[in-house]
Amino acid sequence: MSLVRINNGSLAYGYTPLLQKADFTIEAGERVCIVGRNGAGKSSLMKVLSGDVLLDEGEFNIATDVKVSRLQQDPPKAEQGTVYAYIAAGLQEVGEKLERYHQLSH
């Protein structure tokens, strides 16, 4: 059973198509790496998968027990602290423990 599936998905901003009749599937147990040149649509695909952006055309399905999270490409400009602390903050309680361990080990 597919955890995530895009069928015939299209997404464009202006005249630039980022996804054009694309099919994408993630099956249980798979590991996925999204690779491409700048502007190819990697971040836009992740926004579709996380539900932040809707496809212009096509079908998007996600299993009810699947949660997609993504890390923004750039931290907020007002953010203080280290990159490590910023990333650890996204991991909630585990992140707090990792940050504390990182501080103590240095």
**For the chain, percent helix, then strand, then coil, each to nearest 5?**
30, 30, 45
* For range 82-91, the mean pLDDT: 77
- Indicate whether 87 pLDDT > 80: no
H or E element at residue 33:
none
For the chain, residues classed under CATH 3.40.50.300 are 2-62
pLDDT classification of 99: cutoffs 50, 70, 90:
confident
Helix (H, G, I), strand (E, B) or coil at 86: helix
Query: Which class for 10: exposed (0-12), middle (13-18), buried (19 or more C-beta within 10 A)?
Result: middle
Instruction: Give yes or no for a contact between 51 and 68, defined as CB atoms under 8 angstroms apart.
Output: yes
- Indicate whether 85 pLDDT > 80: no
Summarised one tens digit per residue, pLDDT across range 22-72 is 999 999 999 998 999 988 888 899 999 999 999 999 999 999 999 888 877
CA angle 92, 77, 105 (to 5 degrees): 45
Fold for domain 2-62? Rossmann fold (3.40.50)
